[in-house]
């Protein structure tokens, strides 16, 4: 049990919690991470795609989200883009990964399996999709590249991809990582920098006295601290409510299919209107995902899995005979505007959120953690925190 009063208690040990713990611990704060790995944690369920522009322009797994929001045929949905400021946030965060991978490897010995290929390849399976992608390409600012490929060019780049496509759009530089190794590396780096971890314990309540958050309750135990960080992911909204803070984070389920290990057959990350596919370091192909509002239910459904399998075969026909090793579902921390929630609540001392990663939590984690930590220690933030403050949702 804790004896002293830490500077910071971080509730939640997914990638956001551990990344923030490291940022703070290396700035010499006393950090205590309290974490219980609940079923459905997004970090462990995630595909680990690092697709800043893809997500921002709506061609990553966002297409699936949008398609499932509209009632029409998913193949013709028009992608909605995320605000430019967040697109830039994601691009900036993504750019930090190579250096981060080296640094974490040196500090902890863990390889976060950062793998780059040609990029994110969005398959256009209908003429309508092609028209939509053309619009997206035209709307991109200078410096952003979206290559349009003919079916023959796609066949050369990715021989496993089906040939009955209209073409494809390639976003170079969109890579992938192993999200669990990323979180584990952040965790060990935090511990190496002096952070403490209470594992398999759950923060039940954030304790507030008036306008000041003073600590947390873990079961029967009260822990006082200078600052509480809510990194509880899909559970962050529930946790914030215990302190009377309205945080509109809710679980959004995503089902995933993982194949058995294969020799290398895919070097890009693929995206279609029905699914995305990425071949991971150990050879398995990850096929995702659904977007469902079912509370904290982490069950998988026959329809969800069927849809993903059908989409996968449509993209890579040879997958039909490949074995499935595992299926699962994770709970993304969803927010109404798809942007994360970072930083304080105005009028309340001693509390910060580092959550709401939704579909971009992995690629955004390094910068989310950095900016939130900088805010706490009054350092000039690498990027402005304002767009991500909780106050944007209205009064508390």
Partner 1 sequence: MSPDSPEPTPSDASRLVVIGAGPAGMATAITLAERGLSVTVVDQNPRPGGQIYRYPAVPSTKPRQPDRGGALREHLAEHSDRITVLSDHNVVGIYPERRLGLCGPEGFRILAADRLVLAPGAYEYVPPFPGWTLPGVMTPGAAQQLVKSQGVAPGRRVLLAGTGPFLLVVALALHEMGVQVVGIVDTLRRRDAFWKLPSLLADGKLLKQGLDYVAGVRKAGIPLMTGHIVTRAEGRGRLEQVVMAPCDADWVADHDRSRPIVADALCVGYGFVPRLGLAQLAGCELTPTNLPGGWIPVTDAWGQTSVPGVFTAGDGAGVAGAIVAELAGQLVGLGVASSCGAIEASEAERSAEPIRERLHQLSRFRRGLDELGSLRKGLSQLADESTVVCRCEEIRRAEVDEAISSGSTTLRSLKVATRLGMGPCQGRMCQPACARRLYDLGLGSLEEIGPPAFRPPLVPVTVGQLAGMDAPGGEPADAELVEDGWEADSAS
Partner 2 sequence: MSTTTPRSEMVQFEFDGQQVLCRPGQSVAAALWAVRETVLRTTAEHQAPRGYFCGMGVCFDCLVTIDGRPNCQACLVPVAPGMVVTPQGAARAESGGGVS
Binding mask 244-283 for partner 1 (x = CB under 8 A): -------------x-xx-----------------------
> How far is the C-alpha of 178 from the C-alpha of 160, rounded, in Å?
23
Does residue 361 contact residue 46 with C-beta atoms inside 8 Å?
A: yes
183 binds, among partner 2, partner 1, none (CB under 5 to 8 A by kind): partner 1
Residue 143: what are its φ and ψ, rounded to 5°?
Answer: 95, -15
312 binds, among partner 2, partner 1, none (CB under 5 to 8 A by kind): partner 1
Does residue 345 contact residue 390 with C-beta atoms inside 8 Å?
A: yes
Least Cα distance to 383 among 372, 371, 365, 373 occurs for 371
> How far is the C-alpha of 345 from the C-alpha of 352, rounded, in Å?
7
Strands of the 250-259 sheet, one edge to the other: 147-149, 167-172, 119-124, 269-271, 276-279, 285-288, 250-259
In the set 61, 183, 229, 234, which binds partner 1 (CB under 8 A)?
A: 183
Beta-strand relationship, 212-218 and 221-224: antiparallel
Residue 187: what are its φ and ψ, rounded to 5°?
Answer: -60, -50
Give yes or no for residue 327 binding partner 1 (CB under 8 A).
yes
Give yes or no for residue 91 binding partner 2 (CB under 8 A).
no
Closest distance of CB 266 from partner 2, Å: 6
Mutual angle of helices 361-376 and 15-25, in 10-degree steps: 30
Find the binding residues for partner 2 in span 235-274 (CB under 8 A).
260-267
Does residue 34 contact residue 239 with C-beta atoms inside 8 Å?
A: no
Give yes or no for residue 37 binding partner 1 (CB under 8 A).
yes
**Binding piece for partner 1, criterion CB under 8 A, among 51-59, 82-90, 322-330, 351-359:** 322-330
Cβ burial, residue 123 (10 Å; 0-12/13-18/19+): buried
Find the binding residues for partner 2 in span 95-154 (CB under 8 A).
113, 115-117
Give the residue with the Cβ less far from partner 2, 283 or 299: 283
Give yes or no for residue 313 binding partner 1 (CB under 8 A).
yes
Which residue has tokens 């809510």?
230
Find the binding residues for partner 1 in span 187-216 (CB under 8 A).
187-188, 191, 197, 199-200
Give yes or no for residue 220 binding partner 1 (CB under 8 A).
no
Closest distance of CB 323 from partner 2, Å: 6
Binding site for partner 1 (CB under 8 A): 37, 39, 43-44, 180, 183-184, 187-188, 191, 197, 199-200, 257, 259-260, 287, 299-303, 305-306, 309-310, 312-313, 319-328
Binding site for partner 2 (CB under 8 A): 113, 115-117, 175, 260-267, 279-283, 321, 323
């Amino acid at each position: 049990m804790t004896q002293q009063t830490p500077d910071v208690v971080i509730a939640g040990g997914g990638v956001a919690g551990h990344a923030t713990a490291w940022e703070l611990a290396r700035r010499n704060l006393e950090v205590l991470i309290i974490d219980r790995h609940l079923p459905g944690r997004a970090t462990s369920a995630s595909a680990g795609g690092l697709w800043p522009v893809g997500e921002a322009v709506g061609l990553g797994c966002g297409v699936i989200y949008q398609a499932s929001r509209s009632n029409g045929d998913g193949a013709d949905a028009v992608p909605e883009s995320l605000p430019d400021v967040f697109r830039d946030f994601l691009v900036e965060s993504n750019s930090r990964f190579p250096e981060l991978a080296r640094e974490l490897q040196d500090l902890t010995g863990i390889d976060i399996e950062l793998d780059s290929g040609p990029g994110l390849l969005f398959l256009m399976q209908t003429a309508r999709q092609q028209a939509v992608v053309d619009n997206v390409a035209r709307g991109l600012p200078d410096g952003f590249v979206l290559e349009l490929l003919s079916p023959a060019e796609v066949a050369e780049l990715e021989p496993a991809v089906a040939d009955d496509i209209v073409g494809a759009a390639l976003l170079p530089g969109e890579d992938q990582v192993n999200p669990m190794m990323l979180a584990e590396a952040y965790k060990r780096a935090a511990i190496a920098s002096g952070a403490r971890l209470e594992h398999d314990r759950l923060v039940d309540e954030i304790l507030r006295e008036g306008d000041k958050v003073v600590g947390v309750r873990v079961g029967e135990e009260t822990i006082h601290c200078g600052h509480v960080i809510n990194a509880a992911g899909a559970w962050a909204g529930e946790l914030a409510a215990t302190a009377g803070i309205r945080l509109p984070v809710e679980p959004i389920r995503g089902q995933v299919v993982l194949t058995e290990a294969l020799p290398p057959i895919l070097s890009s990350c693929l995206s279609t209107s029905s699914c995305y596919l990425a071949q991971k370091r150990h050879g398995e192909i990850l096929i995702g995902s659904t977007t469902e509002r079912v509370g904290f239910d982490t069950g998988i459904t026959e329809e969800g899995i069927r849809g993903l399998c059908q989409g996968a075969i449509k993209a890579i026909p040879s997958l039909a005979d490949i074995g499935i090793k595992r299926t699962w579902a994770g709970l993304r921390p969803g927010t109404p505007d798809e942007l994360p929630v970072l930083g304080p609540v105005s009028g309340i001392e001693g509390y910060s959120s580092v959550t709401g990663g939704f579909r971009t939590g992995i690629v955004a984690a390094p910068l989310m953690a950095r900016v939130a930590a900088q805010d706490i220690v009054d350092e000039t933030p690498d990027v402005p925190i304002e767009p991500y403050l909780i106050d944007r949702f209205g009064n508390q």
